[in-house]
Every structure is written in structure tokens, then in C-alpha cells.
Structure 1
């Protein structure tokens, strides 16, 4: 039980430190580049606006109906903001 409490406490301190770092730096949390951005038909990443490699292997791996639906939802959310 003591090992669990110690481990839990250490993880909470680490998470608090990361949260305070994000808050004090004034930055917003962003998604990563690639992933679903790579399967869209757009020329630029939704997150960082860099050009997307048209020959990315992710395009082939992620071309499924579920991934396309997630991409459409992400694009609708970005237009609404």
C-alpha cells in the first residue's frame, strides 16, 4: 500500500508540474502534426500550417471510413472556431 501511495504521489507532483508549466508559459496545448492531417486532401497541416507530404505512408494506412469521418469532424470544428 505504501508503494502505491508513493507512486501515486510522485505522479501527481509530475502532473501538477506539467500543468503549471503550461499555464505559466501561456501556451495552448496543440495536437501533433501528421496523423489524421496526413489523410486529408488539404495541402497544409491543420495544426502548424506546414505543407503535407503527398507521398506519406500514413495516407494509405489511414484511408478508412472511420478516419475520414474523424477528419471531417476535425475540419468542421476548426471552421467553427
Structure 2
């Protein structure tokens, strides 16, 4: 039982120390590059401003069905216009 209490206290101390470090570092929490940023349809990442690959299979897998439908409709309108 003593081992459990000591391990729990050590783990709790580490977690509290990490939380205090994050609070006092002054940095804001940001998302990762790519990933869900590809959903917005933007040409550049919202976090680091790097160009997003338009041919990435990640866009198709992450886009919601409604967004895919809207994209297909837009492409159809563009093809009819030209």
C-alpha cells in the first residue's frame, strides 16, 4: 500500500509540475499542422502558413459528406461554365 501511495504522489507531483510549467511558459496551445486544418479548404495551413498539398488523400478522408457534396457541386458548376 505504501508503494501505491508513493507512486501516486510522485505521479501527481509530476503532473502538477507540468501544468505549472505550461501556465507560466506563456505560450498558447495550438493545433497541429495539416490534419483538421485541411478541412477549411484553405491553400495554407492556419497554424504555420505552409502550403497544403491539394492532392493529399487526407483531405478526402477528413472532409465531411456535406463538404464533399458542396465541393462536387462547385466543380460541376465550374465545368458547366467553361
TM-score (norm 1): 0.59
What is the RMSD of the two structures over their aligned residues, measured on CA atoms? 2.8
Counterpart in 1 of 2:61?
Answer: 61
- The DSSP-based 3-state class of the residue aligned with 1:30 is coil
Which of 1 and 2 has greater Rg?
A: 2
In the alignment, is the contact (CA less than 8 A) between 1:38 and 1:56 conserved in 2? Answer: no
Deviation at 1:40, TM superposition (A): 2.4
Structure 1 alignment gaps of length 5 or more: 69-81
Structure 2 alignment gaps of length 5 or more: 69-82
Count of residues paired in the alignment: 68
Counterpart in 2 of 1:26?
Answer: 26
Deviation at 1:4, TM superposition (A): 4.6
Counterpart in 1 of 2:9?
Answer: 9
Q: Which has the higher contact order (CA 8 A, sep 6+)?
A: 1
